[in-house]
Amino acid sequence: MELNQLTIKNAKGGLKAKKFSSVELTKACLEQIKKHNRELNAFITITEEDALEQAKKADNLASQGQAWETKPLLGIPIALKDLFSTKGMKTTAASNVLKDYVPEYDATVVKKLKDAGAIILGKLNHDAWGHGASGENSDFGPTKNPWNKEYVPGGSSSGSAVSVASDMCIAATGTDTGGSSRQPASFCNIVGLKPTYGRVSRYGIISMASSLDSIGHITKTVEDSALFLNVTAGKDANDATTSSKPVPDYLKDLKKGIRGLKLGISRKDLENVDDEVKKPFLFAEKQLKDLGAEIIDINLKYSDYAIACYYIIQPSEVSSNLARYDGVRFGSVRQNFGEEAKRRIMLGTFTLSAGYYDAYYRKAMQVRTLIKQDFENAFKQVDAIISPVSPTLPWKLGEKINDPLKMYLSDILTVTANLAGIPGLSVPIGFSKGLPVGMQILGQQFSEAKLFQIGHAYEQTTEWHKMKPIL
Ligand code: GLN
């Protein structure tokens, strides 16, 4: 196995045992980026010199011993979605509006990752501002799916998923406002996490829709996801929506198994799922049963309204958040907004305007409450809920880009978690037509440890997550 193919856990093991250095590990990732980024277009900015400098420092610290106690990611090369503010490093939001913007400070998550010893390799491509499900809305060009370069890698965290799936980095950050970490992870055969709203600080992340935005993690295994969340979770004085609930050790219950756990499935929501996705999902259901889980049918009554509800609340908040890019204070002129951002600004301005607010925004907020209650009721019966991540396989580049409604409908299974503020973990469950399929595990607020427990148990019985695309 090449060094850049390692997981966080194994890379850490190798570094600790001095089998290789962080400089060697970082160079292996940079080599892979040089070989494949031109074609896959995962990175917007590559910070080679800086990364090597950091790696040298990490090696020095490691040679002094003890450093891993306080620096759990010491020497591990990771990459950041370009929505994360990075001090002195260009942060574009994948939009021409911010193409030359260099922030004065680090996002809290970036600071935490740096403090934990991680090496930052650069900034990753995505749908501009986080708007999209295919990666094609980037002003820096579309990212390609490494499993088939004619297909989309999912979005909006397209570069995050592709950089991890093609081993250009060991792990990456994403964001998830309506599925943007879970869906691209699923399209690229890797693991995506959307934590509970308020579990990880949003400070310094360029806002999309503030009441729905979550930070996401993209990793090669479930265990890595737990390791990553151990670093990023927690209260932040700079983000009033972060919770002061204590952060557990997410690795603690990982190996507990799932015997006796109750997993819910909403069968009605499977009706709109394509057979190529349904088949691997039903097989995964059987595997979970074999592991000792009890499967229980549940009814999410209001899930049919989730897309309509999300696509009112989300553009409403987008129109407010993007109003600050007026060309006076940040970035360049408003003419540089892309088509999709303009569409959402107009939609949101409409739904919030006097006369329409009650009919659209307030109604949507009421439906949001019903969706949240749906989940609360379900979690009285079950420990977690499983479903496919996406109703379809990855689609061809260009296939939906001129049909926004079709693109929006692909979010049908993921947006509910954001509306309810609950966590979701997506794991690889197989392939159809050579393209990856993913399953999401949803849980009650702050139940990430349980999601890792379920995801890890499943992962141990399958080989899917070990499969690599031929680049
Ligand atoms: N695809 C969804 C949208 O376009 C979700 C995006 C996200 O999670 N950032 O809004």
How high is the pLDDT of residue 272? 92
Look at strands 43-46 and 119-124 and give their pairing: antiparallel
Q: Which atom of ligand 1 is nearest to the CA of 179?
A: 8
Where residue 21 falls among pLDDT bands split at 50, 70, 90?
Answer: very high
C-alpha to C-alpha distances, 162 to 190, 199, 200, 236, 315, nearest whole angstrom: 9, 25, 23, 30, 27
Closest residue CA from atom 3 of ligand 1: 132
Q: For the chain, give the mean pLDDT.
A: 97
For residue 290, the model assigns a pLDDT of 98
Q: Name the DSSP letter for residue 359.
A: I
* Contact 418 CB / ligand 1 (< 6 Å): no
Averaged pLDDT for residues 331-350: 95
Distance 418 CA to ligand 1 centre (A): 10
Per-residue confidence band for 371, with pLDDT thresholds at 50, 70 and 90: very high
Structural domain contains residue 394: yes
Range in 62-76, 267-281, 345-359, 369-383 the model is least confident about: 62-76
- Quote the CA–CA distance of 250 and 69 in Å, as a whole number: 16
pTM: 0.98
pLDDT value at position 368?
98
Return the pLDDT at 463. 96
Query: How many Å lie between the centroid of ligand 1 and the Cα of residue 149?
Result: 22
Per the domain annotation, does 462 fall within a domain? yes
Mutate to test the pocket of ligand 1, among 81, 126, 127 (most ligand atoms within 8 A of CB): 127
Any alpha helices (H) in 253-305, and if so which ranges?
A: 275-290
Domain region containing 344 = 3-466
- Residue at 47 is within a domain: yes
Digit-coded pLDDT (tens) for 303-312: 999 999 999 9
Mean pLDDT of the 140-160 span: 98
pLDDT tens for residues 398-427? 999 999 999 999 999 999 999 999 999 999
Q: Does residue 64 sit within a domain?
A: yes
- Establish whether 34 is a catalytic residue: no
In this predicted structure, the answer to whether residue 66 has a pLDDT above a threshold of 80 is no
pLDDT at 467: 97
Q: Cα-Cα-Cα-Cα dihedral of 180, 184, 189, 194, to 10°?
A: 0
Residue with tokens 């990023």: 232
Percentage of the chain lying above the pLDDT 70 cut: 100
156: annotated active-site residue = yes
**pLDDT at site 328:** 87
User: How many structural domains comprise the chain?
Assistant: 1
What DSSP assignment string belongs to 21-38? -HHHHHHHHHHHHHHHHH
81, 112, 123, 400: the active-site residue: 81
Of 24, 55, 74, 36, nearest to 165 by C-alpha is: 36
Whole-number Å distance, alpha carbon 342 to ligand 1 midpoint, is 15
pLDDT at 331 over 90: no
- Residues 162-194 pLDDT 10s: 999 999 999 999 999 999 999 999 999 999 999
How long is the chain? 471
Tell whether 334 is covered by a domain: yes
Residue 113 lies in a domain: yes
Q: How far apart are the first and last CA of the chain?
A: 15
Ligand 1 in contact with 175 (CB < 6 A)?
yes
- pLDDT higher than 90, residue 329: no
Query: In angstroms, rounded to a whole number, what is the distance separating the alpha carbons of residues 76 and 130?
Result: 26
Ramachandran class of 257: left when φ > 0, alpha when ψ lies in -120 to 50, beta otherwise: left
Q: What spacing in Å lies between the alpha carbon of 129 and ligand 1's midpoint?
A: 9
How far does CA 186 lie from the centroid of its chain?
10
196 belongs to a structural domain: yes
**Residue 471 belongs to a domain:** no
pLDDT at 330: 78
**Ligand 1 center from residue 82 Cα (angstroms):** 15
pLDDT of residue 69: 86
* pLDDT number for residue 327: 87
Is 156 near ligand 1, meaning CB less than 6 Å away?
Answer: yes
CATH number of the domain bearing residue 96: 3.90.1300.10
